[in-house]
Structure formats: structure tokens, C-alpha cells
Amino acid sequence: MSDSYFPISLHSLRIASIPPFDLFLVHKPASPPVLYRNKDLEFTEEVLEKLRQNDVQNLYVPRHQREDYFSYSSKMVSQTVKDPSVTVERKTRVVYDTTSTIMEDLFVSPRSNVRIQQAKETINDAIELMTNDEEATRKMMFLTCHDYYTYTHSVNVTIFATALMQRVLPHIGGEHDYKVIGEGFLLHDIGKSAIPPAVINKPGKLDEEEWRLMRRHPQIGQEILNSTRHGDPIIDSIVLQHHEKMNGKGYPHGLKSEEIHPYARICALADVFDAITTVRSYRDPLPTAEALRIMRDEMEDHFDWDYFNEFVKLFGDLNE
């Protein structure tokens, strides 16, 4: 695939909207994209149907039109979530796919104020959807991608952590701004943008130098966000503390139990769960029950135990 195009999900195109970018199709793997529809033409139900009949999952947009695509798609998410005629199923799919595409680009350009803003807006729409509709939360949990990419991991963690925070935070005193907390979940690994993919995807153990680098991603993430307009103490607490463990053996600061912010404790559970239930090139994913068992039996002093019990219930609910 030529670098001059990037893939977009069909779901990010809204019926009756007028996409301000050209749409390309790839007919055969490894063949170059061909123009399918010029920009500024209405995207209709008929066009969508035709693409579906031909089993098209992705279209391609020229990279030089990416700003047009991202500003269009984040607006479309917001309209779709608020549209009572759209099914919850479709809303969750649109939110998931669009946020993933925005995050994929953000990991390439992590200091882009515009892209961070778009990521925040789409995740705010996702949080609104999930907090107003329990069905949406369940559907989002089912949707989570089982292949491991840092950008889908970011979206998956946000979904699991948001589901958990809705159970846990009402019992903790004080005000909780779900939307800003959700932004923190989404951006928790933004510091990994500075770590070479060969280290992130390395099968087996990291050597000392690689591990030293990997352990810096929370601080790098905080530094990246604070170099943009998007620094925020709530987001910082999640970005910085999501690898701290209740027993004090986490990083970067070895904080213990109550020293770790509750939002970061929530994120830590969702983070490990997603990491072990997704496929990496070097191992198969664990099924949900097995993942929860390992977290309970082998990582017992890593997590907040009360939060873990609530986390397990989330999946009990799912099977009801």
C-alpha cells in the first residue's frame, strides 16, 4: 500500500453527508488504490449498500486530504451519537472505528493540538453514549478489537475503564468529570509514540536498555501533553500512574495503594486486561475468564481489590 493513502472505515461515513475528500478503493491486496468517488458528492444509502454487497470494509483517502477527513469524521461522530434514528449498534461502531483512526494518526503526530482535540471530542461522544445507555456500554465491550495495536488498545482500555468507572466512582466522594477522565484513559499510552515499534512489539523479554526506555512512557506521555494545549491534572494522573501497582512495585514512582490516584487504579485494570486478551504476534490471546483468573491469582497485589471485584462483575453482567 502506498503511503500516499490511509484506510478509513466505511462506518465513519455518514449517510446523506457530503465528504470533503476523495474516496479510493483497493480492488486487490497490494494493488494501488483507484478513485471511487470524488469529494463533495453526497454519500447515500445506495452507495453504502453497493459497497457492502461487494464486501468492502475500508476505503482509502489521500494523505494530503487527511485534515479534511479528520475534521469531517469527528463532526460526524457527534451528529451520529445525537441522532435518535441511528441504532445503538451503529453508534458504537461509528465511535469505535473513528476514534481508532484518529488515535492511529495521533500516535504518528502526538503533539498535534488539532488531532488531540479531535480525539478528545470523539471520546467525549463515546462517554456520553456509554453513560446514558447501558446497552451501548455492553456493545462497546463486545466490539473491542482483539488484534493488538497501540491505537486500538487505547480505545479498548477507554471502553473497559469507562465501564468500570461507572461502577466505582459513584462510591467515591467528590465530583468526577467522566469526560475528562475518559480523555485520560484514551491518552494513557501516548508516550509510547516516542518508543520504537520494534521495542513495543518485541516478542519475549526486553533487554535492560529497552526496558529502561519502555518504563519512561508514562513520563514521556505527560511531557508530550504538557507541550501542547492539552495538559490537565486529571489526564496527567492517569498518564503518569497507570503502571503503578498497589504493592509499590510499579513504575515510574513506586507509589503504593492510596498514593495511586483512583482513576489510574481503574486504568491499570483495564490496561492489563486488554493487553492479555488481545493477540500479539508471539502469543494467542487469553479468553476473558482465563484473563480474569490470571489477574486474580498471579497479580493479586498489583490491583485495587475492590475495583477488581467490580471489574469481574462487568463481565458477569455481560453474560446475563
- Residues interacting with Fe ion, by CB under 5 A? 189, 271
Q: Which residue type is seen at 46?
A: E
CB of 306 to Fe ion, least distance (A): 22
Q: In the beta sheet, which residues pair with residue 280?
A: 283
Nearer to Fe ion, 121 or 271 (CB): 271
DSSP code string of 2-40: -TTEEEEEGGGSPTT---SS-EEE-SSTTSPPEEEE-TT
CB of 138 to Fe ion, least distance (A): 22
Rounded distance, CA 292 to CA 311, Å?
9
Q: In the beta sheet, which residues pair with residue 134?
A: none
Rounded distance, CA 165 to CA 155, Å?
15
Q: What separation, in Å, do the N-terminal and C-terminal C-alpha atoms of the chain show?
A: 43
Rounded to the nearest angstrom, the gap between the alpha carbon of residue 47 and the centroid of all alpha carbons in its chain is 29
CB of 195 to Fe ion, least distance (A): 10
Nearer to Fe ion, 97 or 274 (CB): 274
CB of 142 to Fe ion, least distance (A): 20
Nearer to Fe ion, 23 or 225 (CB): 225
- Mapped onto helix, strand or coil, the DSSP state of residue 145 is coil
- Mapped onto helix, strand or coil, the DSSP state of residue 147 is strand
Crossing angle (nearest 10°) for helices 217-226 and 233-241: 160
CB of 5 to Fe ion, least distance (A): 28
Nearer to Fe ion, 101 or 241 (CB): 241
Nearer to Fe ion, 10 or 234 (CB): 234
Nearer to Fe ion, 128 or 271 (CB): 271
CB of 153 to Fe ion, least distance (A): 6
